[in-house]
Structure 1
């Protein structure tokens, strides 16, 4: 019971208190990839804590044995074979807690895959493939640029964008969209959306789903400006900011374009190496902290 209470307290800390300073932090916009990793690590840590707490409530106690089973017993996690005499029903609470967010994630992945597949089918019918650009061109006057991520990714430009953007701006926009595809950013965004769907009233889930898409756009901006001037990408984003794109896509413009333009034109210094190291350590440690809590010698 002590371990269960400690885990529930930890989950409360991670799910309610931890996301507030992270969402307000200034360093996150200066190191967006690291911030996304921390959001994902906190979500995984919260889920792990809930699963372990449910297990400790359903199966109190544990014993020390050798091998993998012994490690499970040290952590108070009974081996399935040991549960046969006491009823495997005891596994149902932790299994249900684990399957709830996993089910939401599976459903979100399947839903977005269907949306992308349908949109790819339409693009293949109405868009012209431009081998030189490595993109599909839609005959539409509204300037827009976006990528449809996944295994069969598509980068899409409208005719209006081609007519409005200069060659340098077009190259910067394409670099931005390719960064989304190469970084598999759709997986992080889908995971954040699924976690928010599983725990809609949890600040960690709600704020993570809000911040993750913006951070991913900033991460793509950072990769694009490695080879293209910041002012060029900022001007291109401004020109395509009003373009409408599918929900399953990443747009070069979008509602946060103004914030991103300001970030590009007035870049802040990178976070201090000590801060980056601390954030990276927190990202690596957060998923295993619930295990350390329940396996600790003070929580038998």
Structure 2
């Protein structure tokens, strides 16, 4: 039972302590792929810890019931067992059972809400892709759906099949190299299944809106996914083409400094990182630091459970 307590303590520490340092560490987008892994690892380790706790408790209960002649397997479980059976009085028993029922219901409701959010997002995305294919025309040369509208826009929609959408206005505004960079950016989203990560993180943020790890995490994951797609396009078509395309689609003159107040979510950061730096970016240092963060958040739950399992118990037996 100590393993469950250790996992809860670990997840509480990550939820409270991780969001702000992670935000400061990843805000520049120096290595967006690794920064994305750091956020997803932190979020995933907390969710995995929460899911593991009831499994551990159930396993202890089943093991104890299967061996009724043996002493209770763990002192923590012994205390919980006594509380549930009324050994400490009816008040403690009622409170314990109410808390257990509330926690179980909360977990089931949370899983249901996140699952429903994900299914709704998936259904909406697939329906949008279907409607776009009906409204637009497929351009074999671009391998994309072209919408006959004057607005400059390009985006990708996960569906069956996944679809890249570009407007007539964007095609007219971009030169060949810029248009190719935009299409490569959108294909990188589809190839990396970025829509899946967005749906999962936004689902958690919507249903756990008071937990900063999930709300900040959803925002940072969306920003880093855009930077990953920018880098994928830049590797093929070069940073200048991606930068000019981004500015053109945003309706911003190239002469405008990216540090001025520009509209668009995270657009200044994306533009700034595409401009060649005066000094080399601290890539190696950032990679080492982010690698250490990823290692900690991945190893943390395993280390917590292992230490508890080999005898470093959080709960001690009651005296007497």
What TM-score results when the alignment is normalised by the length of structure 1? 0.78
Greater radius of gyration (CA): 2
Aligned alpha-carbon RMSD (Å): 3.8
Change (3 A) 1:55 1:121: closer
Aligned to 1:232: 241
2:221 counterpart of 1:201: no
How far has the Cα of 1:142 moved from its partner? 1.0
SS at match of 2:141: coil
2:231 counterpart of 1:217: no
What does 1:87-98 align with in structure 2 at a 5 Å threshold?
96=105, 98=107
Aligned to 1:260: 270
Distance 2:288 2:269 in 1: 26
Aligned to 1:67: none
Change (3 A) 1:284 1:51: closer
Aligned to 2:292: 278
SS at match of 1:29: coil
How far has the Cα of 1:255 moved from its partner? 2.6
How far has the Cα of 1:266 moved from its partner? 3.6
Distance 1:156 1:30 in 2: 29
What are the superposed Cα offsets for residues 245-295 of structure 1, whole Å, 9 maximum, x if unpaired?
Answer: xxxxxxxx9532222011111453424353343244235424535533543
What TM-score results when the alignment is normalised by the length of structure 2? 0.73
Which is worse superposed, 103-112 or 177-186?
A: 103-112
What does 1:142-221 align with in structure 2 at a 5 Å threshold?
142-221=151-230
How far has the Cα of 1:121 moved from its partner? 2.5
What are the superposed Cα offsets for residues 162-181 of structure 1, whole Å, 9 maximum, x if unpaired?
Answer: 00000000011111001000
How far has the Cα of 1:4 moved from its partner? 5.2
How far has the Cα of 1:15 moved from its partner? 0.7
Unaligned runs of 5+ in 2: 65-72, 78-84, 86-96, 253-262, 316-320
What does 1:1-300 align with in structure 2 at a 5 Å threshold?
5-26=5-26, 29-53=29-53, 96=105, 98-241=107-250, 254-267=264-277, 268-272=281-285, 273-282=287-296, 284-286=298-300, 288-292=302-306, 294-299=308-313
Distance 1:43 1:290 in 2: 17
Distance 1:45 1:94 in 2: 19
Distance 2:8 2:131 in 1: 48
Unaligned runs of 5+ in 1: 65-72, 78-85, 244-252
Counterpart contact for 1:146–1:177, Cα < 8 Å: yes
Distance 2:6 2:265 in 1: 41
How far has the Cα of 1:124 moved from its partner? 2.0
Runs of 4+ in 1 over 6 A off after TM superposition: 55-64, 89-94
What is the count of residue pairs matched by the alignment? 278
